[in-house]
Structures are given as C-alpha cells and as structure tokens.
C-alpha cells in the first residue's frame, strides 16, 4: 500500500459553454488537476474564446477551441469529432452551455423565447450527451488511475440549477429547461452505466456570471435587482466562487466516484435546504 501520486484527473475534458463563466472555471479546474487536453465548445466572440483558452493554457494544459452551437445536431457531432481528432478520446464532458431565457410572467412569455430557452438548456444537453455518450461508449477505459478501481470509459456532468428542483416567479422557461436537464441526466445515466459511462448533474447556487449580470445590474431596476441578489446570497450563506463549481465537477468526474450515477448534486452552500435566509 502506498500513498496516491500523479494527477487527480489525467485525460481529456470537453466543456460546452467553456469560453467563459462557470464552464471556463471547469476547464481551469481540469487543467489544474492534470488533464492533458481541454476542448472548449461555445458560440462566443473571438476575444472571449481567446481569453478562455489563455486561462487554461497558462496552467500548462493544451486547449482546443471549437465554435459550435449546442442547439444544432451537426455542430455538436462535429464538436465531439474535432476533440477526438485532436486528443484521441474524451474522458470527461461537462455540459454548461446555457441561457437564462425570458424573465417575465408566464402569461407574458413569448413562445419563441420559451422555445429558445428549451433549445439551449434542454435540447443542447440532449445533443451534447448524445454525441459524448456515443464516443465514450466505444472507447477503452481511462488509464493511469489507481489499480483496483472500477473501470470508467467516461463521465458526463450536465449543468442543471436550483431551478431543477425549485421555482421562482417569472422563470417558467428556465425552470422547465432545468427540470428537463435533470430528467435527461437520469435516463442517460441508466443507459450509460451499462457501458461504464457515468452521467450525473450538478446544480450550482447563485454566482454572478455574465448570464445573471443583466438581471442583477439592470440600470432600470437596480435597487430591486440588488435586493434580490442579496436575498439569494443570504440564503446561500455567502458569495460563491466560480472555481468552487469547477472543482466539484472535476471531483464528480473521477473514476473513484464510480458508484455515483444519475445524481444531481446541489452545489449551493445550503441554499436548497434552507427554509429561511439565516
């Protein structure tokens, strides 16, 4: 018996929504834990892609950028193929591309806004999981992990939200899309486990990313936006850091999490178990 040594997460990671925000924090966490390659899949502008790539490469990990829209089947199929052409396989996938969608009462929500939200947050998760599973199911198990571990061909982590369990007035489209993400994860997990691919979800609490800035920092409703944010942070216990989500995704992806299948882990400082704001 000896102490463990070597990188925590050797292998290759593919992250949708990886150019910025929580997706990029995951890319950085994989790089820090010894991934040999990271592919970031996004629809961002060149400057954001370049910044996201640099944060990964500054750690000494090769980073491939792939411009692809998760709502388009041909794009997602190509994204997986490009990552495999470059790195030979995908050991860990994190599906974090997402949009907040319309924040308004259901009775005033346009069908097109509803559909766009489902397209990215639900169909995007379906398509990403589909092509990642196809790749992972046919590749060999990851090497370089501790002897005696249950073999793992791949791990997929889908990004849900506290809105995969709870709701907030004015968030019907987002809440429905995140409940869908949770459902896709469960069914895919039961299919993936037969081939030694684990599929799980994480549900972050509240982090002030670019996705939420327009809501919280809306000049027209600044006081209300900031008050709402304060109440979220109080219920969460404190401000959260992006890397706290990144690190959880890496840990959940490891072969030593072998018995964790189809779960939705709330990474929210206690938000969802808190009845009040204390």
Ligand X SMILES: NC(=O)c1ccc[n+]([C@@H]2O[C@H](COP(=O)([O-])OP(=O)(O)OC[C@H]3O[C@@H](n4cnc5c(N)ncnc54)[C@H](O)[C@@H]3O)[C@@H](O)[C@H]2O)c1
Tell me which residues are annotated as active site.
174, 178
Q: Name 247's Cβ contacts closer than 8 Å, sequence gap at least 6.
A: 29
CA–CA separation, 272 and 266 (whole Å): 8
The reply on whether position 247 binds ligand X by CB under 6 A is no
Structure tokens given for 176? 């429905």
Q: Contacting ligand X (CB under 6 A), which of 97, 136, 145, 184?
A: 97
Instruction: Tell which one of 8, 27, 63, 70 touches ligand X (CB under 6 A).
Output: 70
Least distance (Å) between residue 209 CB and ligand X: 3
Of 17 and 255, the one with the shorter C-beta distance to ligand X is 17
- Determine the Cα–Cα distance for residues 82 and 75; give it in Å rounded to an integer: 10
Work out which of 98, 154, 246, 255 binds ligand X, going by CB under 6 A. Answer: 98
Task: Decide: is 271 part of the binding site for ligand X (CB under 6 A).
Answer: no
Structure tokens at 76: 């997602």
Out of 209, 236, 253, 264, name the contact with ligand X by CB under 6 A: 209
Contact with ligand X (CB under 6 A) among 8, 14, 15, 19: 19
Q: How many residues bind ligand X (CB under 6 A)?
A: 28
Q: Which stretches within the chain are classed as H helix?
A: 21-32, 46-57, 73-87, 111-118, 124-138, 172-192, 213-216, 222-236, 242-253
Provide, rounded to whole angstroms, the least separation between the CB of residue 212 and ligand X: 5
Strand 92-95 and strand 12-16: the pairing is: parallel
Task: State yes or no: residue 204 binds ligand X (CB under 6 A).
Answer: yes
* Residue 38 touching ligand X (CB under 6 A): no
The crossing angle, in degrees rounded to 10, of helices 111-118 and 172-192 is 30
Assess 96 for contact with ligand X (CB under 6 A): yes
Q: Checking DSSP bridges between strand 37-42 and strand 12-16, what pairing results, if any?
A: parallel
Q: For binding to ligand X (CB under 6 A), which residues are involved?
A: 16-17, 19-23, 42-44, 69-71, 96-99, 120, 124, 159, 161, 204, 206-207, 209-212
């Amino acid at each position: 018996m000896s102490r463990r040594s070597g990188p925590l997460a050797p292998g290759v990671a593919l992250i949708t929504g990886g150019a910025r925000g929580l997706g990029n924090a995951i890319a950085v966490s994989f790089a820090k834990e010894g991934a040999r390659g990271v592919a970031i899949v996004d629809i961002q502008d060149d400057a954001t892609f370049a910044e996201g790539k640099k944060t990964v490469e500054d750690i000494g990990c090769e980073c491939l950028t792939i411009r692809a829209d998760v709502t388009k089947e041909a794009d997602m199929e190509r994204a997986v193929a490009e990552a495999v052409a470059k790195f030979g396989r995908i050991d860990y996938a994190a599906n974090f591309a997402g949009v907040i969608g319309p924040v308004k009462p259901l009775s005033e929500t346009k069908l097109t806004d509803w559909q766009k939200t489902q397209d990215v947050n639900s169909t995007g998760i379906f398509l990403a999981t589909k092509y990642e599973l196809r790749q992972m199911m046919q590749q060999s198990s990851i090497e370089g992990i501790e002897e005696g571990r249950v073999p793992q061909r791949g791990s997929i982590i889908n990004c849900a939200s506290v809105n995969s369990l709870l709701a907030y007035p004015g968030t019907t489209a987002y809440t429905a899309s995140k409940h869908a993400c949770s459902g896709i994860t469960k069914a895919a997990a039961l299919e993936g486990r037969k081939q030694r691919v684990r599929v799980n979800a994480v549900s972050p609490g509240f982090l002030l990313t670019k996705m939420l800035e327009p809501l919280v920092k809306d000049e027209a409703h600044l006081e209300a936006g900031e008050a709402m944010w304060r109440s979220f942070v109080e219920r969460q216990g404190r401000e959260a850091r992006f890397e706290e989500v990144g690190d959880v995704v890496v840990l959940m992806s490891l072969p030593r999490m072998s018995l964790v299948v189809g779960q939705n882990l709330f990474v929210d400082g206690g938000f969802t178990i808190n009845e009040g704001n204390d």
